[in-house]
Structure 1
């Protein structure tokens, strides 16, 4: 090989290397985004799209803005339709004018994604955006909750030609309609922002001086309204609410500065739009309707939101930096790989260039080492990001679970406040003693709510690190004994052996009396709650070299192993139906003990009692002997248990079974219904099922959240058992979500009412269900031998019953006892079942069946009257003739001859 050949060869090598290093893959997909407007919210949307595209280099995004000009956007749509694009993302400036143009693109086969807004057509591929109706409704509910359903509102609307404006207005209007004392004094459509507000708002405030709330469709409008109101010295008396809650300019910052009182988070959906576009173009599954969630931003949570957003921005910048670095490394890697392939081929063919290829190979190996190190660093950073994201996700889940549980805990006391209150309001006459009992019930449950709120506030202070010990030296012995003594009257009423055991007369100790009082009172209250009458509760106070130990022991129901392990977890549920206390007390007790540098533990075994042990450190070097008088705390202890009474009016033949694990609510329902019906009470599904089988009632009212077996399972059991399937069931529950209502309906419930419920409505539902069942009985009373006319749930039972009668038709000893035994029922259950379905008793039903069968047999002329009588189980043909004439007013012979 001569010099010229070598020079040409080297030129080709370097030319190929340059091409390998500089060549980049062209984007595979072209996406066009037609943006309707230009504002800060849209800038955030555009930024989210660009950040998301950093993970998809094969996609190219072009953003075209129309600056709120509808005609210009229509022209843009038509121009894009003539170009070669893979997908169109669009935010329509107005709904109706753009419908036809966008439909044309969609029909041509180009996928169309709407972001934030839609047109009037349903022809699109996907929609990403907030539920503007729900945002408007959430705003109305928020304002209603802040002002207790009272207030006068000015609504500043966006131009009503856009779908967000109309939906926000409709949702807000529907929410306000639910609050009778909340009123929209005027709604103003803002077409020219600052000018319109300057023109309209002072006039409206002057004409309606009672106005105390301004709701604007955007934060910009809300801030502008604030500035105008400030000029007329009205801003301080107004409550300003906006929508968008952007972390820049007008939005969260104004909430933080108290210019706005609240703002509804209006997510842009930029990242979600790109994610959906990627799924569509890559033929992956996607959702057509993607509704984004909102949240109310107030001064209480704005700092947290801004902090989280800032953290996300920092993480996003770091992710983008790593993506760019990965792209650079991939380019370097691709270039080095191509060079290696090319030089390896030359090394085999050309010995002359062997030395050059050797050095190149060494360089490649070194690059791979560097690249591997960099990849390891990137993977470590990725793992850290995933850990941070998981922590944030878990924190969000814990917060949502907390809100869900605390809402559930509020609903039963609220039911025992609202339902009796509504009952008092509806009364035309008042009985002093009865009214006093109802008011005492309301007061008791209001105090329970107050205690629950205090516990939540204490936990919030602990979580924020704002709670401190207010400790002093007290006598721990006398302090503990006084708390135990407060329970003596309750122990006496329940015949419980309550003892305080301590080997010394006094023990000076430094502690926070208020917090330790709450700990001991809470644990003792739980001990009484789970200890049966005739049991024992012993409180002992001991000390050793290192610590002081307070032990509260009982012989109550105890805990399983998993319950014991989770006893101090906030809102831990031993099973899906029962919570430990309120779900807050033990968690709060643990935090208070930890503030004292102590520990709290539990020893328990199912059905063998429970012991709580509080261990506090003993400060041996402290020589102070002076102790202060411990403060006295007011303990509201319920000393009387609600006694169940089953009142049965002598003249009523209608019976109810009511199942509810809250004794006070159970007694309240008993008091209301026992005036009209025979009422049987139960506190568990198991006890209720026994009473249902024993009494076969006309209707069942059951709570959903019951110990062990819940109301859904009980309803399903009632509807699947042929002995009880005819009985209507009404479910009461604190679970108000539609999923729970669907579950109750699937189980077979005839009615479903959420707590707190309206007592009058419940009474009407009971009355209507009983009347409907009575009308059905009357309807079928004349057709009892035709099961085809009976509803499907009872048809099989009647068919089986008639087959059984047919089986023993010629048996002269056929009796109700024999039939009930064959069906696996008691005689009473069979009587009640047949009567409930047909309005006839069992003997009448058998008689009617025999008459129907006799008529059929008389149609056969080959059989004589005696044969037919024996075939129907009659020992004497003459008795058959008498029986037949009593039922038909004709003898068998007369019937045959007609």
Structure 2
């Protein structure tokens, strides 16, 4: 099939499918309510409508029966006939409504009963409050508010109704804790205020001694308060109601205005009913019995409840407004989409059909030629790949052999470096002036020596040239001697190394000059990753056939995704800040294989890592030749100890000088994860600059925001956040965008240098670098920054828009100068107002302005005021007193003094001289 025809098909199908937008499923919900005239029922209906607004496409059929059970039955049957998807019903009476509920339920229509239950369990779900619990809460509250003593009149609802019975039982239960509280009278208010007034007036003589009234709803409670006020004028009588409805005339308003002492929330359940309905319709899990929670509203929490309701109503109005806007946008989008579809399809058809015949002919010829060409190319490529693979394998082996031979050659010059170096370190005269540099050289020579030894050993193993020389040794004494070599390094970090063993004499056949490398490597790693004041456990256990040595630290641990790779050669974990060559653990595993043993690792993130090596007991697994060669070389053991422990004796971290020192005019932040290089640069540069140090990208960012240095030197490869990412973040932040950044990296390719500069770095220096070149680069960048400042300040009053090259710095200067201009007449205008307006701290504002404008904020404001005053004196006809206050000075005398110090004459003289020059 030709490509053009496929394109036509896809476009036509795509546009037509776009028109068929996925619509939400539509449902018809029937809601039958026994009565809708009272506030509680109105609130229930309002909640249902609000919740339905979140489900576009749902249709609501609403019927109310005005308290007539027969009418409610007929209305429910009519909705069933119309084919509703779900029925929500609030029964007027339980028994008369039971048959129609069962009818809907048996027809497969889900039924949710709300507020009152029917006489049958044939319904899908029930939503409503527990009237017994509401009555009990009212009783407990009355007992607390009356302090356990008093007389109460209870105004009940409709005789025989389930809410009345349950609330009365709950109220009596709640008062059981207060035996000194008596219910002196009970009257039926039939849920109505007028009936309540009539009943209370009949017992008005007995109301004299009451302390509280509990009414089964807020309407009766409000009527009770009116009767009390009319008959007794006794404001201190407590009146407790039920419902606590929001809105005008509701219980919340009554409690807030003091009509009611308190009201128990009787939730309508409208929201919950709709929520349950959509769970049922969408085949989601739901609860059959949904009992709504309640609480007592009084003066302590009524304002909060009113505030929450008002906020809810406001949000609902916003939702409705946004919904109408969304519908308008949908209509507009649909119309535009139709026009676009027709236009594109017509265009595609006109192009495709015009060239379809010619294209088909040419395409067939091309396909046949391409097939022949591809077959030939595939055969040639296969032969080339086979040849290249063999050449690459030979080249790789040659490179490794060359590198191994070179590694052998490195040992001689390293030895010649190390021996004279140790003589220099022991020479007290030379040591006094250059101890730190000599120690740094020694440490890195040993580091090179360790890497070369590991590489040579690894290549020997690859070519089966590393031969065992085993002898029988007490492994406990062997490990104890090795631990002694690490005690000095451990004490420096206050790390305790504990040796645990199940026996003091465990004889094991091993090659001491190979196994010590394994133990040295595991112990040096443990010390490297164990935090200060930590513990390292070295445990030796044995069975009848084997011995196990485990080394456990309490460091950061190894992530699960990396633990399977730790023994791979040249593998380096990405999450650890202290990276190595990736050879140590791989070599350790190979040495354990030579010993016919095992090495494994267990680790839990943030809890530590445990390495275990296992050796077989006895000598049968070794050859006679391996046993005959077995001799321990104590000199090699001592050399390995120095090689593996020297790297752990880090130079102490650089600390900033005393705060009472003379502050240097320029500051530099150095970000480098190598402690030696970090401290070396810090010690060298502190002679001329204020120096701040950081060893991770995150710490560097925080220090840059806090210190706002004049220049930043950062390594490209940092733990966590790379130098490139750090540069991009600092250069895109208004607080630090002006700071020059130098990136240091061992990546020397042109592509990598371009990549570094694209991150907006000001300079890119390749390691190893010349220190003098680095200092020259620092001075050059700082000098260029100084020249840029001078350019900014050449005419600070010109337009308020200095010619700044970087957009963020330009925006900062524009915003800063604009804020100052707007507030020149405000004599109380302060630096705090500027920093708040721009959104940076006071210290950062001072340093940013100093770095970009080479002046303080207050000097800039004063300069702007005097420039404005000078302009007004020349071009406007204001008096000097008026100009004084227009430019923010507190008095004419102070203004005159400052003006004279700046321009050499008083404002009056300046104005007079300029007037004369104009006239002339």
Match of 1:433 in 2: 432
SS in 2 for 1:581: coil
Query: Following the alignment from structure 2 to structure 1, what is the Cα–Cα distance between the partners of residues 749 and 404?
Result: 13
Query: Using the alignment, how far apart are the partners of 1:823 and 1:401 within structure 2?
Result: 59
Alignment match of 2:853 (pick from 834, 838, 846): 838
Alpha-carbon distance change, 401 to 659 in structure 1, aligned in 2, over 3 angstroms = farther
Q: Distance in 1 between matches of 2:828 and 2:671?
A: 41
Match in the other structure for 1:555: 554
Is the counterpart of residue 806 in structure 1 residue 821 in structure 2? yes
Residue 863 of structure 2 is aligned to residue 853 of structure 1: no
Say yes or no: does 1:709 pair with 2:721.
yes
Q: Offset at 1:467?
A: 2.1
Contact in 1 for aligned 2:789/2:854 (Cα 8 Å): yes
Please list the CA deviations of residues 657-701 of structure 1 after superposition, one character each: whole Å capped at 9, or x if unmatched: 222222222222122112222222222222222322232222222
1:582 and 2:581 correspond: yes
Kindly provide the CA deviation profile for residues 474-502 of structure 1, in whole angstroms up to 9, marking residues without a partner as x.
22222122112221222223211101111
**Per-residue deviation at 1:454?**
1.1
Which residue of the partner structure matches residue 888 of structure 2?
A: 873
Match of 2:590 in 1: 591
Give SS of 2:738's match.
coil
Asked if structure 2 preserves the Cα contact closer than 8 Å seen for 1:479 and 1:630, the reply is: no
Partner of 1:641: 650
1:660 aligns with 2:672: yes
- 1:463-478 aligned at under 5 Å gives the runs 463-478=462-477
Q: Report the counterpart of residue 762 of structure 1 in structure 2.
A: 774
Quick check: 2:572–2:581 contact (8 Å CA) kept in 1? no
TM-score where L is the length of structure 2: 0.50
| Equivalent position of 2:687 in the other structure | 675
Alignment match, 1:371: none
What pairs up with 1:155-174 in 2 under 5 angstroms? none
Partners of 2:714 and 2:397 in 1: how far apart? 31
* Deviations, residues 832-866 of structure 1 (Å, cap 9, x unaligned): 21112222111111122223333444565365555
Residue 740 of structure 1 aligns with which residue? 752
| Corresponding residue for residue 794 of structure 2 | 782
CA RMSD of superposed structures (Å): 4.4
- Cα 1:667–1:847, aligned 2, differ >3 Å: closer, same or farther? same
Q: SS in structure 2 opposite 1:706?
A: coil
Q: How far apart are the structure 1 equivalents of 2:723 and 2:603?
A: 29
Q: Does 1:700 align with 2:712?
A: yes
Give the drift of 1:468.
2.5
Check 1:850–1:570 CA distance in 2 against 1; reply closer, same or farther (3 A cut). farther
- Segments of structure 2 that go 5 or more residues without pairing to the other structure are 1-364, 421-428
CA distance in 2, matches of 1:673, 1:827: 28
**Counterparts of residues 365-764 of structure 1 (less than 5 Å):** 433-575=432-574, 580-619=579-618, 630-632=632-634, 633-634=637-638, 635-636=641-642, 637-638=645-646, 640-643=649-652, 644-647=654-657, 650=662, 652-764=664-776
The alpha-carbon deviation at position 819 of structure 1 amounts to: 1.1
C-alpha contact 2:528 2:578 (8 A) present in aligned 1: no
Helix, strand or coil at the partner of 2:514: helix
How much does 1:545 deviate?
Answer: 4.5
Give per-residue Cα distances to partners, 1:720-771, cap 9 Å, x unaligned. 2222222222222211122221122122222221111111222222222223
Deviation at 1:536, TM superposition (A): 0.5
Q: Aligned-pair distance for 1:563?
A: 2.2
CA distance 1:766–1:577, change in 2 (3 Å): farther
Q: How much does 1:457 deviate? A: 1.1
Please name the residue that 2:834 is paired with: 819
Cα separation, partners in 2 of 1:587 and 1:391, compared to 1, 3 Å: farther
SS at match of 2:586: helix
Alpha-carbon deviations, 1:426-485, whole Å to 9, x = none?
A: xxxx96522343233212211211111111111112222322322222222221221122
Contact 1:496 1:535 in 2 (8 A): yes
| Partner Cα separation in structure 2 for residue 406 and residue 742 of structure 1 | 35
Contact kept in structure 1, 2:597 and 2:613, CA below 8 Å: yes
* Equivalent residues in 2 for 1:11-90, closer than 5 Å: none
Structure 2 CA distance for partners of 1:856 and 1:572, relative to 1, 3 Å: farther
Alpha-carbon distance change, 395 to 596 in structure 1, aligned in 2, over 3 angstroms: farther
| Contact kept in structure 2, 1:577 and 1:710, CA below 8 Å | no
C-alpha contact 2:694 2:700 (8 A) present in aligned 1: yes
**Rounded Cα–Cα distance in structure 1 between residues aligned with 2:819 and 2:472:** 83
Q: Is the 8 A contact 1:571 1:579 kept in 2?
A: no
TM-score (norm 1): 0.51
Shift of 1:526: 0.6
CA deviation vs aligned residue, 1:775-832 (integer Å, no higher than 9, x gap): 3333433323443333335222111111222333332221112212222222222112
CA contact (8 A) 1:473 1:626 kept: no
CA distance in 1: counterparts of 2:906 and 2:835, whole angstroms: 32
Contact 1:647 1:678 in 2 (8 A): no
Once the two structures are superposed, residues 115-167 of structure 1 have per-residue CA deviations (whole angstroms, 9 ceiling, x without a partner) of xxxxxxxxxxxxxxxxxxxxxxxxxxxxxxxxxxxxxxxxxxxxxxxxxxxxx
- The unaligned stretches of length 5 or more in structure 1 are 1-280, 284-322, 328-377, 422-429
Aligned residue number for residue 52 of structure 2? none
Distance 2:671 2:557 in 1: 24
Q: 1:656 to 1:400 in 2, by over 3 A?
A: farther
* Map 1:228-307 → 2, pairs under 5 A: none
Q: 1:466 to 1:877 in 2, by over 3 A?
A: same
Alignment correspondent of 2:811:
796
Is 2:470–2:630's contact at 8 Å kept on the other side of the alignment? no
Deviations 1:617-657 (A, max 9, x none): 34487899999874431111236431123247626322222
Shift of 1:572: 2.1
Deviations 1:166-193 (A, max 9, x none): xxxxxxxxxxxxxxxxxxxxxxxxxxxx
Compared CA separation, residues 579 and 752, structure 1 to 2 (3 A): same
Going from structure 1 to structure 2, the CA distance change for 1:652 and 1:383 (only over 3 Å counts) comes to: closer
**Contact 1:729 1:751 survives alignment (8 Å):** yes
Q: What is the rounded CA distance, in whole Å, between the counterparts of 1:839 and 1:658 in structure 2?
A: 23
DSSP-derived class of the 2:573 partner: strand
Query: Aligned to 1:717, what secondary structure does the other structure show?
Result: helix
Relative to structure 1, the CA distance from residue 740 to residue 578 in structure 2 (aligned partners, 3 Å threshold; closer, same or farther) is: farther
Distance 1:747 1:480, change over 3 A: same
Contact 1:405 1:571 in 2 (8 A): no
Count, aligned residues: 514
Residue 550 of structure 2 aligns to a residue whose secondary structure is strand
8 Å CA contact 2:712, 2:741 repeated in 1? yes
Q: C-alpha separation between the residues in 2 aligned to 1:783 and 1:756?
A: 44
